[in-house]
Chains A and B, each alone.
Chain A
């Protein structure tokens, strides 16, 4: 294959991946009636502000954005912290049952947790967390992938000599964690944090099941409501889509390169 053909193919692929997102901006900036024209519009229109207003009038979208930010923020912090703690223990500390417990982590990584949704719903109802943000936050505080990811990273990136030197200086495990492990873990923590934020922000089925009132909904559930309705208002739905995706695209633009590095690194070791 010639080089030119490779670049041509890749450009085509890039356009295919970017086009649906571009088109959602086009639709979001049009009057809904303009969408029924032949040929369909391919350039952005002037109706974006109006459509954004309509989104906020139709569903409590500002509240949904805030809810998603709270839930994703808490879960990102907790997954990173608990995964680093457990990853440190698995990678560098000696204790009974270590191998078996680590195997349990790896073994449950691919288990489809979605299938436990009915007892989880019963449990959340029993705890009286139904229709509260606790219901979506607490079950996602940890996950097996995070522990595995940090274990892999720390077993390579954290020099054992550094820990031994700290021990000789009289530092307890706790101090070692905060002053030696955490600084070393930072690059991997950033990637894990981003992946977690994306996953929680984009989660749909569980929030849909457990959150009922409009003021408690997350962004994805609010978005799905814009899609429902007898007359399909695409400019409204796609404006919502754009608003819900924009924060992620900004993060992606700033940190996408590290994210790719992290995904590829995790893949090789996994």
Chain B
């Protein structure tokens, strides 16, 4: 009896322990994601009882919509403007902190501080800073003798403002991830490089980055996945409301997630059409991750 109980315990317990995760994750995570593909093939809206099969109709309508291409352009532009400076800054910061420093914890806490702040809070604060009439940044520009900028109005200027929010919130966090990887790089490499007269910048490029390549790939991919799904920043930058949903009065900063939100939850709940948007985004994310992986893999290894 005892051995039977013991056997049942050791063979069944593992499954009992992992099942809460797998059941909940399957129902509320994987199922919705997969079901999106099915919904995207239908003319499916919240109010209609009939969901007629339309094949790839939603996709062809999507690709024919200039607003979709506008949202794609905006998303890629904001992605580039936020991810590239963010990663370069994070690498440099991590390199600076990766040495014996006084008040070590203080600098690290400072790096993580913006990430604790919610996206909504960040947008509210930065919308004030980037305000046209009474914003601090325009006041600074003016006191340096430069002109005011209507940050929200322009395509490029609004993208810069949104990218600044993302960069502020994520640079320090990424620097900490880089720092963790840098600490595993053998110190002797730096010592001999210093003896050979290599500058800090050369050491960063020739030793650090090649040594932490897997971490760079990881951070680039994660940042790209985040950047392709930006939502709260553009929505609230325009002040929420109807202008927020279309990303500014001229759609100058409507991103793909906003576009999906606009069709899925505001314009007659076009679930089929919004699902098609989601799947196109999913494809883009997979593609972007693959491209990132291939590019970053080419960073030469030091070994």
Contact = CB atoms under 8 A, between A and B. Distances in A.
B206 to A, nearest CB: 16
B170 to A, nearest CB: 11
Contact of A228 (B22, B35, B99, B239): B239
A82 B125 contact: no
A13 B108 CA distance: 11
A261 B251 CA distance: 42
Main secondary structure of the interface of B (DSSP, over half): helix
B278 A117 contact: yes
Interface string A219-259: 01001111111001010011011001100110010001101
A83 B131 CA distance: 44
- Report which residue of B22, B117, B274 has the largest number of chain A beta carbons within 10 angstroms of its beta carbon: B117
B238 to A, nearest CB: 10
B39 A119 contact: yes
Interface of A: 1, 6-7, 9-10, 13-14, 16-18, 20-21, 23-24, 27, 35-36, 38-40, 82-83, 85-86, 88-90, 93-95, 98, 101, 105, 108, 110-123, 138-139, 141-144, 147, 172-174, 177, 198, 201-202, 204-205, 209, 220, 223-229, 232, 234, 237-238, 240-241, 244-245, 248-249, 252, 256-257, 259-260, 263-265, 267-268, 270
Interface of B: 5-6, 9-11, 13-15, 17-18, 20-22, 24-25, 27-36, 39, 93, 96-97, 99, 101-102, 105-114, 116-129, 131, 133-134, 136, 139, 143, 168, 172-173, 176-177, 179-181, 183-184, 200, 215, 218, 221-222, 225, 228-229, 231-232, 236, 239-241, 244, 257, 260-261, 264-265, 271, 274-275, 278-279, 281-282, 285, 289
30 contacts: A6-B99, A7-B102, A9-B96, A20-B129, A23-B129, A24-B124, A27-B128, A35-B128, A38-B139, A85-B21, A89-B15, A93-B14, A108-B30, A113-B29, A114-B257, A115-B33, A115-B278, A115-B282, A116-B30, A118-B264, A119-B35, A142-B20, A142-B21, A172-B5, A173-B10, A224-B240, A238-B124, A241-B120, A248-B118, A259-B112
